[in-house]
Amino acid sequence: MYFYCVCQDTSYFLTLIITSMLMTFSCTCLLRSNSWILGFDTLWFGYLQTTVGVIQLLGGPMFGRFADLFGARTALSLACASTVVFFLLLATADTPAMLFIHKIPTVFMHVLPASQMVVTDLTKPEKRADALSKLGLCFGIGMIVGSTLGGQLSKLYGEKFTACFGTAGSAFSLLLVLKFIPKNTKAETTRGNTTVFNLSEITRLMKFPTVMQTFIIKIVAGLPSGIFQVMFSIIALEFFKLQPEQNGYLMAYFGIVQMVIQGGVIGRLTARYSDNSLLLLSIGVSSFVGLAQAYIQNVWQFCFNILPMMFSLSVFNAITDSMLTKSVPSSDTGTMLGLCASVQSLLRTVGPTIGGFLYVNYGISSIGLIQFFVNIAVFVYLLQRRLNKTAEQRK
């Protein structure tokens, strides 16, 4: 009962802060449309996004280590406070330099990983994948409410007011963290070296059994789908010829599908099947999603393909995060989740370059075909290992 109440509070404020964060998308779009005022063009916006990816790539493991040393509540409070500063700087961003400066707090803006750290500390290993997937439900709500609310506020009152509104929402989320999250969530605390910026303590986790293999699979199998995600805004505008309003409806559809899958499907699957079986399933589905993407011709076909795509992504992310946190001591789960967050940052950093090259030179079909071949290769590798292991056990 105690865990249920804590998770309910965690989901409440996570929904609020993700809603606030997604409101900045409409602000960023307005700043981009008025780029002649700020002296920015598309190339410089690409540099801006790459800067964010690099900052979060470096900050993820350090943030996770910080959570293990000082507690998940302290880490989540730091993430919320960083979001407040982020919005305040965004509200004053009226020069190109300020657009870069306002991204600096993103080094600590790991709200979702920090919330995952809280839930990981408070759940039993066998229930962890289901609990982590439930947090994804909050992202779906935030995607729908935040994008809609942010667009309306920006339209009626301007992007600066929207950023100020996000500041207030983030500050309220910080108060919720301090009020409802227990001060100590770990049964086992980190011993030994207590330095946050300690690379050896972070890389030490890779030496635990199955960690390196699962981590490599997370990067290799997740890269092709990550490329498509970072290129989606360009694909929607250039390939599907969607207007901003139509793109908003499509994003809402994304959110609804994700909410259904993470809220009502993954929990049932994790209760019945093993993590390894679900990992194999998600990679197999992802390979055929890539094959379908290679032959998509219109947005209606894409909407149909979103169903298996969101299923594979949701299961893959929840299962790999769960497997990695189970593979290390409970005192190191924060650092491991920080490393998992860095994988997403890595995809956002290299994705635009790889995706842009493929899209410009070979078209959208090349991205789908690469996803198919990479994931089918990983699927065959994992299946072969599983069959060999089964054969050895029978002997």
Best CA proximity match to 37, nearest among 83, 96, 88: 96
pLDDT at 83 over 80: yes
Q: What's the CA gap between 336 and 206, in Å, rounded?
A: 9
- Report helix, strand or coil for 329: coil
Best CA proximity match to 225, nearest among 288, 177, 303: 288
Q: What's the CA gap between 176 and 17, in Å, rounded?
A: 10
What pLDDT shows up at residue 380?
94
Read off the pTM. 0.78
Close Cβ partners of 353 (under 8 Å, ≥ 6 residues apart): none
What pLDDT shows up at residue 284?
94
State both tokens at 343: 């994988």
Best CA proximity match to 293, nearest among 285, 302, 284: 302
Domain extent listing, the chain: 9-182, 199-394
Kindly indicate the confidence band of residue 189, based on its pLDDT and cuts at 50, 70 and 90: low
What pLDDT shows up at residue 5?
45
Geometric angle at alpha carbon 313, from 3 and 321, rounded to 5°: 45
Q: Which CATH class is domain 199-394?
A: mainly alpha
Close Cβ partners of 243 (under 8 Å, ≥ 6 residues apart): none
DSSP structural state of residue 106:
G
What pLDDT shows up at residue 111?
82
Close Cβ partners of 10 (under 8 Å, ≥ 6 residues apart): 115, 118, 119, 135, 180, 181
Close Cβ partners of 151 (under 8 Å, ≥ 6 residues apart): 26, 248
Contact 254, 310 (CB under 8 A): yes
Contact 56, 342 (CB under 8 A): yes
| Lowest model confidence (mean pLDDT) among 135-139, 375-379, 385-389 | 135-139
- Report helix, strand or coil for 83: helix
pLDDT at 245 over 50: yes
Report the mean per-residue pLDDT for the chain: 79
Contact 365, 235 (CB under 8 A): no
Mean pLDDT of 134-162: 72
Give kind and range of the element (H or E) at residue 323: helix 299-326
Burial class (CB in 10 A: 0-12, 13-18, 19+), 272: exposed
Q: What's the CA gap between 390 and 385, in Å, rounded?
A: 9
What pLDDT shows up at residue 285?
95
What pLDDT shows up at residue 244?
65
What pLDDT shows up at residue 292?
93
- Report helix, strand or coil for 68: helix
What pLDDT shows up at residue 208?
85
Kindly indicate the confidence band of residue 374, based on its pLDDT and cuts at 50, 70 and 90: very high
Q: Are both 9-182 and 199-394 of the same fold?
A: yes
Q: Which CATH class is domain 9-182?
A: mainly alpha
What pLDDT shows up at residue 196?
67
Close Cβ partners of 32 (under 8 Å, ≥ 6 residues apart): 40, 45
pLDDT at 63 over 80: yes
- Report helix, strand or coil for 117: helix
Q: What's the CA gap between 123 and 246, in Å, rounded?
A: 40
State both tokens at 240: 């599907």
Mean pLDDT of 233-240: 78
Q: What's the CA gap between 15 and 142, in Å, rounded?
A: 6
Mean pLDDT of 106-110: 86
What pLDDT shows up at residue 35?
43
